[in-house]
Amino acid sequence: MGAVAVELYNLGHQPGFFYMEHSMGLASSAGLGLALCLPGRKIVVLDGDASVLMNLGTLSTMARYSPHNLTHVIFDNESLLSVGGFPSATSTGTNLALVAKGAGVKNTGLYSDIEGFQGAYDEAANRDELSVLVAKVKAVGPTSFAMDIGLLENRFEFARHIKDLRSE
């Protein structure tokens, strides 16, 4: 999604990365589907606070199915950075870790320092249970939202990657 997708892309594209462009709010739903279809693989969703706020119902659905292999990381910059930087509901008190907990997710946490987040992420990566981690971050985005991979190219590359995983 927006800034999160571009930041991930800028770290170095991999065939297993799928950038949910032009579908704000749906990264969590796609990740849930992948986790349920690929129970032997660890699935990590990188999301933004405004995106999660647009599809809060997914947290309840995640809790209902509770895939053991899903970690949902939410970068909370308290804004809609990708579309102008307008404040999100987290800027006025909404705590997405508590929302996830209230939806039924057992392993949740809100982190405002890198050390705390890193420790929680490492635990989640080694845990065989659904986790939702919210990292408070500054509202600083990429200097450009351009990526050298097109939407269709990414779609087909990712689909081939998933097909290969399923045949292993």
List the structure tokens of 94.
């909404």
Cross-strand pairs, 131: 71, 107
pLDDT of residue 24: 79
What are the φ and ψ backbone dihedral angles of 42, each rounded to 5 degrees? -80, 125
Q: Give residue-wise pLDDT tens across range 34-53.
A: 999 999 999 999 899 999 99
Mean pLDDT, rounded, for 2-26:
72
Q: What is the pLDDT of residues 133-165, one digit of tens each?
A: 999 998 776 666 666 777 777 788 878 888 887
Asked whether the beta carbons of 76 and 135 are under 8 A apart, the reply is yes
Please state which CATH number belongs to domain 2-167.
Answer: 3.40.50.970
Its pTM surpasses 0.85: no
Query: Please, what is the end-to-end C-alpha distance for the chain in angstroms?
Result: 29
Mean pLDDT for 82-98 is 90
Average pLDDT in the chain:
87
Could you tell me if 62 and 105 are in contact, meaning their C-beta atoms sit under 8 angstroms apart? yes
Q: For the segment 54-80, what is each residue's pLDDT rounded down to a tens digit?
A: 999 999 999 999 999 999 999 999 988
HEC-encoded secondary structure of the chain: CHHHHHHHHHHCCCCCCCCCCCCCCCHHHHHHHHHHHCCCCCEEEEEEHHHHHCCCHHHHHHHHHCCCCEEEEEEECCEEHHHCCEECHHHHCCCHHHHHHHHCCCEEEEECCHHHHHHHHHHHHHCCCCEEEEEECCCCCCCCCCCCCCHHHHHHHHHHHHHHHHHC
- Give the per-residue pLDDT at 14: 74
